[in-house]
Structure 1
Amino acid sequence: MTKSKKSEFRPDDFVVYPAHGVGRIVSIDEQEVAGLRLEMFVISFEKDKMTLRVPTARASEIGMRQLSSPDLIERALDTLKGKARVKRAMWSRRAQEYEQKINSGELMSIAEVVRDLHRNDEQREQSYSERQLYEAALERLTREVAAVSGMDEVSAQRKVDEVLLSRVAA
């Protein structure tokens, strides 16, 4: 197996894959695809019971990245404290933008979606699609907070909830 510049990712590393969130590299295997031998990262998304194979040569191009730094996690949590910024565009266009932010894999963009779609008890009901987008963004954020902070997802969820509730109280 040739070692290329892909050494930034190693087996057992947690990584963020844009369309699926936080996963763990299980191994680096070779696989024959259409007559070509390709080196693949084998990434496990345990909670989703899913395994993904990503060609090592394309990982960065696809947007796969290391976990965020603890500093970036703090900045993302600070973003949650901000006032929701909701554009006056039609819901279908806003929903599309939220979906793109979630699937970008960028922590700050995901935090913005959580901030913008979070509702406290006194606010109006969320539509089904708003709730789906909110929960998807919240889950991605929580999983990365958990992985970076070395805590379980329940504790990470509690931490994120505390930040969102502190915003409501302010």
Structure 2
Amino acid sequence: MTQRQGFKANEFVVYPAHGVGQILAIEEQEIAGAKLELFVINFIKDKMTLRVPTAKVANVGMRKLSEPALVKKALETLKGRARVKRTMWSRRAQEYEAKINSGDIVAIAEVVRDLYRSESQPEQSYSERQLYEAALDRLSREIAVVQHSTETEAVKEIEAQLAKSPRRTNAKAEAAEGEADADNEGDIDDTDGGTTVADEAA
């Protein structure tokens, strides 16, 4: 078997929860007496292999790599002004995490843009940095594969775009807000039934 659901062996794909992976093979297994077709997907950087039923790819949101035009849009997004909501950090963290795991390259670029800090701005908290690095990793890996470049080159391109973004004029106010959020670290915000991500001071 070389192709199923529009995906073929050796093709790079994006699996929302893990980022860019490569289909090593399409194999058939017998489970509980029923034959099941599976995509065998390797995530080299994570040293992980997933077996995904071919019939489930739409449900899990697996997609082909972004077209160059969409990559360009994601890079343009990085140059925009950061949009930080005036809500508790735990709520924002949930939203950022949802965007990172959405598999949407533009949404991931928005997270990178919103959590980026230039040298002249206050440092990120530990949890902000964790989310920023996760988003940067997802974004750079896909850009690298699409543009046939290295991840290091992709990161440099991303950082060059971020450097063009307008500096936040209210950086000090946001830093003060971040400290206030840290004081509410023990608060539980389960309005959406999601898991609260507590802020940790760097």
- Normalized against structure 2, the TM-score is what? 0.79
Structure 1 residues 156 and 46, CA, compared in 2 at 3 Å: closer, same or farther? same
Q: How many residues align?
A: 168
The equivalences for 1:13-32 within 5 A come to 13-32=11-30
Structure 1 residues 47 and 90, CA, compared in 2 at 3 Å: closer, same or farther? same
| Equivalent position SS for 2:165 | helix
Corresponding position of 2:66:
68
Cα separation, 2, equivalents of 1:145 and 1:3: 24
Larger Rg: 2
Corresponding position of 1:94:
92
Cα separation, 2, equivalents of 1:152 and 1:58: 31
Cα separation, 1, equivalents of 2:70 and 2:165: 19
Corresponding position of 2:102:
104
Structure 1 residues 26 and 119, CA, compared in 2 at 3 Å: closer, same or farther? same
Task: Identify, as 1 or 2, the structure richer in helix.
Answer: 1
Runs of 4+ in 1 over 4 A off after TM superposition: 1-4
| Equivalent position SS for 2:39 | strand
| Equivalent position SS for 1:32 | strand
Cα separation, 1, equivalents of 2:2 and 2:32: 20
What amino acid does structure 2 have at the position aligned with 1:142? S
How far 1:33 sits from its partner (Å)? 2.6
What amino acid does structure 1 have at the position aligned with 2:71? I
Q: Is the 8 A contact 1:117 1:130 kept in 2?
A: yes
Pairwise CA RMSD: 1.7
| Equivalent position SS for 1:148 | helix
Cα separation, 1, equivalents of 2:3 and 2:162: 44
- Structure 2: stretches of 5+ with no match in the other structure: 168-202
- Normalized against structure 1, the TM-score is what? 0.94
